[in-house]
Amino acid sequence: MASELRKIKAGIVGIIGRPNVGKSTLLNQILKARISIVTPKPQTTRVPILGILSEPDYQIVFMDTPGMLDKTKYELHKQMVKSIDTIIRDSDLILFMVPPRDPGDIENMIIERLKNNSRKSILLINKVDTVKKEEVLPLIDMYSKKYDFIEIIPISASKGDGIDRVISAIIKSLPEGEPLYSDDVLSDRTERFFVAEIIREKIFLFYGEEIPYSTAVEIDEWREEEKLIYIKAIIYVEKSSQKAVIIGQKGAKIKNVGISARKDIENFLKKKVYLDLWVKQREGWRQDRAFLKEIGYIS
């Protein structure tokens, strides 16, 4: 007689909230691995990133989403909001992250979406280490009147405070079933995807306000040689003036990006890397559906 498949607590958990609320930081803390890029700038995540936490009695499949936007200026933004709506609809459970202040338009928009989809949700009030304790209780009361959350948990994702309580609350709320992935899988994304994300993270960290939002990164060539991996990456910009800024005087800025990215990529791939960065102009790429599909921003 065939042995029964292992039954555990298993399901898909979407992490949603406004830009820069700490969703990627939370995911990295839970997985104890850096799979989502984290920068001080909002709207860093552009596509949902899947991360998997596997233990003997449970498997949680997390979807880290882009920050919810109240205005969608580009096709890229529309696709980002569309991906959030899909995850709200398809997840077994939603982790809704909010900053430690009164709900704004974006929080109210998300609550409406939760109501429309009758989603089970846990509210996480993040960055509570930045406010006084007595300021958190009125927020819990305010949010509990807006939606019937399973639990409301104050956390500090950057410090790891409250993470164990979050995992316990998730496990309690997930259905019983078979594992969705093998125990050794951390993400369904490819190495190429994460390498492009590392380069994009450096662009967010090394350049001013506007430049990072006008750039996209594509891995054009990946060649595994005996002692190293040769990676050619293209950084796309929208204007020739942006290209000049990215490259910098005598190529100094792009060189710094390359040095910093290469270190992180080698650490990630556990192998020597030759990183070859190119900058190309592609006007209006954020509005170009075919290009967004080509670089993986639209599935």
What domains appear along the chain, each with residue ranges and CATH number?
8-177 (3.40.50.300), 191-294 (3.30.300.20)
Highest mean pLDDT among 2-11, 69-78, 113-122, 209-218: 113-122
Q: What is the pLDDT of residue 36?
A: 64
pLDDT higher than 80, residue 297: no
Q: What is the pLDDT of residue 1?
A: 38
pLDDT higher than 50, residue 182: yes
At 10, give phi and psi (nearest 5°): -150, 145
Q: Which of 53, 51, 27 is nearest to 38 (CA)?
A: 27
Which DSSP helix (H) or strand (E) runs through 290? helix 289-294
Q: What is the pLDDT of residue 45?
A: 58
pLDDT higher than 60, residue 116: yes
Q: Who contacts 211 (Cβ-Cβ below 8 Å, separation ≥6)?
A: 203, 237, 242, 245, 246
Q: What is the pLDDT of residue 294?
A: 84
Least confident of 94-103, 112-121, 160-169, 254-263: 112-121
Q: What is the pLDDT of residue 2?
A: 44
Tokens 């710094």 belong to which residue?
A: 256
Which tops the pLDDT comparison, 118 or 278? 278
For the entire predicted model, the pTM comes to: 0.74
- Residues 231, 278: Cα–Cα separation, whole Å: 11
Q: What is the pLDDT of residue 47?
A: 56
Q: Which of 242, 237, 193 is nearest to 219 (CA)?
A: 193
Which tops the pLDDT comparison, 175 or 189? 175
Q: What is the pLDDT of residue 70?
A: 60
Residue 141's Cβ-count burial label (10 Å; 0-12, 13-18, 19+) is exposed
Q: What is the pLDDT of residue 29?
A: 92
Q: Which of 65, 60, 34, 33 is nearest to 49 (CA)?
A: 65
For residues 212-230, average pLDDT: 90
pLDDT higher than 60, residue 226: yes
pLDDT higher than 50, residue 270: yes
Tell me the pLDDT band of 71, cut-offs 50, 70 and 90. Answer: low
